Structure 1
Amino acid sequence: MIAWVRTWLFRVLFYGASVPIVLSAPVSARFGQRAMHVHAHVWIRVHRFLARWILGVRVRIEGTRPPGTYLFAVKHQAMFETLEMAELIDGPLIVMKRELIDMPFWGRTARAYGAIGVDRDASSRALRVMLKEAAVARAQNRSVLIFPEGTRVAVGDAPPLRSGFAGLYKALNMPVVPVALDSGHCMPRKGASRPGVITICFLDPIPPGLPREEIEARVHAAINVLEPAASALSESVIPAQAEISR
């Protein structure tokens, strides 16, 4: 019961605060991309503050985000990392579902920040559109954030990567930084949230130019090192240093 009270209080406060932030985003967008990033990060910090003090959720960072421009491939278990990773990576272009891009107000805000819409049907046309939009990353010298599984998954699930990831990897010709996390333990897709520590683990970069089968296998293994079935592997893959950052 306490967990559900906390969960609903968090939702009411977060979504209530989100309405004016999202509606006012077009004003910030008029002042350029940097102003839009500042605006978005205010929203991210509101989410982080409420998660910490209402839900009792903290974040532990393992490894170090390397300097430079990368394709970040992130495990996806909760909405939490959709916002948190945008700040940890410092304003990347974000690959997200086309349905979100098409939403009133929110879609305009996402595009102003730098979102790449992708259709779930994985058609050749959808892939071409995504790659065309991703070319902006090269022009702007920005990192790209993708959730290669395509949607949120439950703790313990490790579905194959969506086909669009390999196409994006090839087109961008960027090294990949896999990111493993376990947000689903505290903020599951279904059910009440609960207090705890979410681990976000930056793994070693993988160079560009690898064959599709190899890059998919390496990224799939890396982003799942915190899953129960991979616990033995994680000791040799995850960097030793760790810190409570939030």
Structure 2
Amino acid sequence: MIVVQYIRSVIFIVQMYLAMALIGVCLFPVALIGGRSVAIGICRLFCHWVRFSARWIVGLRTEVRGAVPTGDVLIAAKHQSFLDILLIYSALPRGKFVMKKELVQTPFVGWYARLIGCIPVDRGKRGAAIKAMLAAVRNPRFAGGQLIIFPQGTRVAPGAKMEYKIGAAALYHALKQPCVPVATNVGVFWGRHSLLRKPGLAVVEFLPEIPPGEELHAFNRQIEAAIETASDRLMAEAGFRA
């Protein structure tokens, strides 16, 4: 049975990247002409295709819980795999990411990242990266929508611990907007370094928002407690035990 699931997983992965290339190339002229709103729609189309094909091919159902924000907010999300990116983005009307500078230079992903207003950062230069990120959010080109940042800075496997960096708190302080924490259990089914995609129910959950005005370190502690507690609950629901 596990062999069959691996075969299904490989088929799913191959078709996912083929769909990314097909949608990305064929619809890119439309995105260029239509601008940001059209580019966002195309990105969400791909996200919904992955959600549909994951259920159909590997039996991985997906669900978005909680109140999805529609206004201008900061979103601080748990990051376990590529799937949580897709689930979060599929739910938001005007999402954009704080993302690694290298990704903005890649085909397909980079093309659309520029159009939807993603903010590139150089993770290797922490102090300079935060300054550049704060400067970028003040640029009118990046204004409006839901800005998504992963406070731990990278994917973190289920059960693993990693510090919450200061970048999310710095953005929260600079933007003076509410922050919506997001929890997930997707890593239980879609591992960082595995081809296997397991059947089950992968969830991202939008948690109650934190209003602007919290002190930076208190804010960091607050989002860490909210995200980790909710993610542990979702992972336990999926049958994971640390």
Q: TM-score, normalised by structure 1?
A: 0.86
Letter in structure 1 aligned against 2:67: T
Map 1:206-221 onto structure 2 (within 5 A): 206-221=210-225
Return 175-184 or 30-39, whichever deviates more.
30-39
Secondary structure class of the residue paired with 1:224: helix
Map residues 96-175 of structure 1 onto 2, 5 A cutoff. 96-136=99-139, 140-175=143-178
Q: How does 1:176-191 map to 2 (within 5 A)?
A: 176-191=179-194
Residue 47 of structure 1 deviates from its aligned partner by 1.1
Partner of 1:8: 10
In the alignment, does 2:214 pair up with 1:195? no
Pick from 22, 25, 40 the counterpart of residue 23 of structure 1: 25
Q: Distance in 2 between matches of 1:137 and 1:173?
A: 16
| Residues 1:110 and 1:139: Cα distance change in structure 2 (over 3 Å) | closer
Match of 1:222 among 219, 226, 232: 226
Q: Aligned partners of 2:135, 2:28: CA distance in 1, in Å?
A: 24
Q: Counterpart of 2:239?
A: none
Structure 1 partner of 2:39: 36
Residues 15-63 of structure 1: CA deviation (Å, up to 9, x unaligned):
1111122223431222221221222122112211111111211123332
1:23/1:60 CA distance change after superposition, 3 Å: closer
Residue 51 of structure 2: aligned partner: 48
Measured after TM superposition, the shift of residue 66 of structure 1 is: 4.0
The AA in structure 2 aligned to 1:193 is R
Single out whichever of 195-204 and 63-72 deviates more from structure 2.
63-72
Contact 1:77 1:153 in 2 (8 A): yes
Residue 242 of structure 1 aligns with which residue? none
CA contact (8 A) 2:51 2:62 kept: no
Spell out structure 1 runs of 4+ moving beyond 6 A. none
Specify every segment of 5 or more residues in structure 1 that has no aligned partner in the other structure, as ranges.
235-246
Which residue number corresponds to residue 204 of structure 1? Answer: 208
Distance 1:19 1:67 in 2: 29
Residue pair 1:92, 1:145 contacting (<8 A) in 2 also: yes
- CA drift of 1:122 comes to 4.1
Question: RMSD between aligned alpha carbons?
Answer: 2.3
- Name the amino acid aligned to 1:61: V
- Which residue identity does 1:10 align to in structure 2? F
Q: Structure 1 residues 118, 168: closer, same or farther in 2, change over 3 A?
A: same
Shift of 1:137: 7.0
Q: Return the alpha-carbon distance in structure 1 between the equivalents of residues 93 and 70 of structure 2.
A: 11
Which whole-Å CA distance do the structure 2 matches of 1:83 and 1:201 have between them? 13
Counterpart of 2:40 in 1: which secondary structure?
Answer: helix
Q: TM-score, length-normalised on structure 2?
A: 0.87
Alpha-carbon distance in 2 for matches of 1:91, 1:158: 30
Compared with structure 1, are the counterparts of its residues 105 and 80 closer, same or farther at alpha carbon in structure 2 (3 Å cutoff)? closer
Residue pair 1:137, 1:144 contacting (<8 A) in 2 also:
no
Residues paired across the two proteins, number: 232
Shift of 1:136: 4.2
Q: Secondary structure at the match of 1:154?
A: coil
Q: 2:84 aligns with which of 56, 81, 84?
A: 81
Percent identity between matched residues is 33
Q: SS in structure 2 opposite 1:193?
A: coil
